[in-house]
Amino acid sequence: MRTSILVLSLLLSTVCAANESAWDKAHFNYQMFCQGCHTPDGSGANSVPRLKGHVGTFLQTEEGREYLVRVPGSATSSLDNEELAAVLNWILIEFSGDSLAENYEPYKVDEIGRLRRNPLNEVVLYRSKLLADIAHRGDAKQ
Partner 1 sequence: MKFLDTLFEQKSRQLAQRSSRRGMLKGLGTLLVGGAAIPLLPVARASAAASKPAEEGDPNSCDYWRYCAIDGFLCGCCGGSANTCPPGTEMSPITWIGTCRNPVDGRNYVISYNDCCGKSSCGACLCQRDEGDRPPYRSDKTNDVNWCLGTSSAVYHCSTAVVVGVAFED
Residues that bind ligand HEC (CB under 6 A): 33-34, 36-38, 47-49, 51, 55, 68, 71-74, 77, 79, 87-88, 123, 127
Is 17 or 45 the residue whose CB approaches ligand HEC more closely? 45
| Stated length of the chain | 142
Q: Which does 32 bind (CB under 5 to 8 A by kind): ligand HEC, partner 1, none?
A: partner 1
For residues 68 and 25, give the distance between their C-alpha atoms in angstroms, rounded to a whole number.
Answer: 20
**CA distances (Å), 126 to each of 16, 33, 50, 71, 72, in order?**
40, 23, 16, 10, 13
Q: Which does 134 bind (CB under 5 to 8 A by kind): ligand HEC, partner 1, none?
A: partner 1
Positions in the binding site for partner 1 (CB under 8 A): 15-16, 18-29, 31-33, 35-37, 39-40, 43, 45-46, 48, 53-54, 56-57, 60, 73, 76-78, 82, 85-86, 89-90, 93, 96, 98-102, 106-109, 128, 131-132, 134-135, 138
* Long-range contacts of residues 130-138, Cβ cutoff 8 Å, at least 24 apart: 130/58, 130/61, 130/63, 130/64, 130/67, 131/57, 133/61, 133/63, 133/64, 134/57, 134/58, 134/60, 134/61, 134/64, 137/60, 137/61
Minimum distance from CB of 142 to ligand HEC (Å)? 24
Minimum distance from CB of 18 to partner 1 (Å)? 7
